[in-house]
Structure 1
Amino acid sequence: MGVARENSDRKRGSIEQRGDTLRVVVYAGLDPVTGKRVYLRETIQGTDKAAWKKAEKKRNEFVVQVDKQRNTPSSVTLGYAIDEWMRTSELEDSTRETYEGYIRRTIKPALGDEPARKVGAQVLENFYTDLRRCRIRCDGTPFVTKHATKDDHDCKTAECKWHVCSGMGASTVRQIHSIISGTMNAALRWEWVDVNPAKVARKPKQKPPEPDPPTPAEAAKLAEEAFRMDDDWGTLVWLVMTTGIRRGELCGLQFSRIDFDRELIDLRMNWVGGKLKDTKTHQNRRIALDTETMVLLREHRDRVAERVRDLGNKFTDDLFVFTGTKTPDHKAPYSPNAVTQRYKDMADRLKIKTRLHALRHYSATELLTAGVDLPTVSGRLGHGGGGATTLRVYAAWVAASDRKAAEILGSRMPKRVPSTSTKRS
């Protein structure tokens, strides 16, 4: 049983001897969230005079800490804080769904029950390191994840499946870090914690972007095959190549956003999660179109109008430009996943290792290689940061374009007449 020593300022805390240790306790007020009484506690090793002196010093530090704090520190768990942050945050539906998966499968099982104010930078760094090693954070001891039969748990047969560590990718751990950082920022604003440890915790480095555009010869084969399949699909692939439009922007494109007189596309919407939303960077942008692309789009509009009329409907500008076979009336857009899969199947048939997003890289790199300035390319792609993103992603092509510009300028400079060598005396 503990023995408490009398203190001159007893209401402001106590020091209790418990066996061969001393426990310092100071009342800090009521938890602003739970309404429970909050105490600051510290255990001091030893019971000699030096230990008691150390305990008194710690008690005084706690008293000063309580006097200085504007609010009582909350004992809410990180899991509770995450739930509140998710409830009050404005997130895209797709982002929210992704975050909820990481929270349910990874964050809460590991840190959900920890008091938010006790989750420090070292705790986070250890957590990220464990995830990079093994996504379920096993302790390294071999175990069976699936038995050969329901009744056979001895696993003497080869059919039993043993756990093999598979670490999370750096980008995935960075997303988990973003969730924790956002939560801690909110907890700091709500005065549940004093600092945001995620600001100083080291997270996995972001992998340098590696654009993988198809070569001009491969792009020509892809475009030719797309038109061979059908004119609508060929026009879709051609438009992505010449504009670098994002998949969601492509699927959400309506005829009302194509100015056939001024020959440009007004990109304002993005098809994500079955809904029309703002573009990825929440920016409206207009992309000028070349003559050949406009010819293809006019022909495409005529085809769609005829198709719609054949169905007994009226063609209107709010119809979607591209759609799948299941919606020939163009009242619903082409499914983004269906576009990706159809493109992949086409590329596989041609034995070209590429993906739909690589056409966006193709558009950017072809423009930069041709000497088009960085702000123009950035504007067409819809990159934020005034060209910083474009420069980071396409640094090699920007450097090549800069070299080409230097050579062009050098070729236009007046030719210098070599000076006559000075005669030796």
Structure 2
Amino acid sequence: MRISRYVVMALAWVLALGISGLAFAQETVTLQVWTGSSSPAENEAKEAQFAAFEEANPNIDLEVLISPDYGTQIQAAFASGDYPDVFTVGQFDFPSLQDSGVLMPAGDNIENPDDIYPGLLAAFSDAEGNAFCVPKDFSTLALFYNTDLFDAAGVDYPTADWTWEDMYAAAEAITNSDAVPEGVVGFSAAADRNRWLGFLYGNGATIAGEDGMSTVNSPEAVAALEFYASFVANGVGALPSELNGAGWNGQAFGEGSAAMTIEGNWAIGYLENDFPELNWGVAEIPLSPAGTRGTLTFTECWAVGANTEHPEEAWALVNFLTGTEGAMTVATSGFGVMPARMSAAQAWLDTRGEEYAAFVAGGEYAVAPVFPLGYGDFTTAFDEGTTAVMAGEESAQDFLDEVAEIWNEITEENM
């Protein structure tokens, strides 16, 4: 009888453990999720994704913050050490956040990483190639052109074979055409590194070499900036502010003050809404003298906080938002941004229109223009020098020589 009693007690203990384990497996987990506010339609799409995740995962509750003050709020949360489990990170914020240790390394947690555009994943990876978060969407730069102004001047539209020389010749012909309204120029060229760097990368130039030392003053880099600045210097282009006081390239182009400009796919909705009568098209940034082309990418990722108590659930949410289905949601939502996954590219084109294929094509070779942490002096000098060159106050060679020296000084100090 004593043996039987022991057996019964053991069975009861096993049963109790089983019930306890079942209760644990079904215990509700709460994840805090923060992100920035966008348009009402885009915010609704995010909320729909969160609701779909909760429905598919009844044991996970999401406490969601979609805020227009997200940048200030998330920084305050990081400073306090009490930050959300899952949150979005912009490419320009990534270096400092990765260095501060608030991001959990992705490791093997990313679903099908080979489907993500390499340049996007690289934007959220460290120097050793370790990814820390998953890109959710992105934009690239392309060449916008006004078809009415091209037609008036008798200039053929840009093609896939267009070169820098073709682009300049078109700008010159349109600026000098008697059939084009007075004051209209061929190209609106913002004094912005996040525009002309597309030409730098397109010409095979880089900011630094494998040894960490600057290559930004290479002949290829100098030629890229000289080409970009030549439109303004030679009067066949202008800064946006010189075109009826436009605040940016998109406005100058939309108002018909410039026949071409370089902007991202965020301008699609702006032009459609503010200038519905404008006739225009887009093409990839033309081929450089090296026979290659370049563009820039601007992206954001979903990250898991390093302090989360629920990493498995947090990564499940990130993969739900950024995986194949999440990418298709971005593709078919009709917003300007493109899905970060190559498998969803055609769906985005089906939704937005094949005429915007230049933006998608750029995803294959786009570079995120992010400088390393600790190079603030270089960034400041780079921006000031870009403005000076575009104003005709400094040569491209002198400017790039100066910033290359600043880069190298910082690099040597960090060795």
For the aligned pair, the TM-score class normalised by the smaller chain equals under 0.3
Q: Which has the higher contact order (CA 8 A, sep 6+)?
A: 2
Which TM-score applies when normalising by structure 1? 0.24
Which TM-score applies when normalising by structure 2? 0.24
Structure with the greater alpha carbon radius of gyration: 1
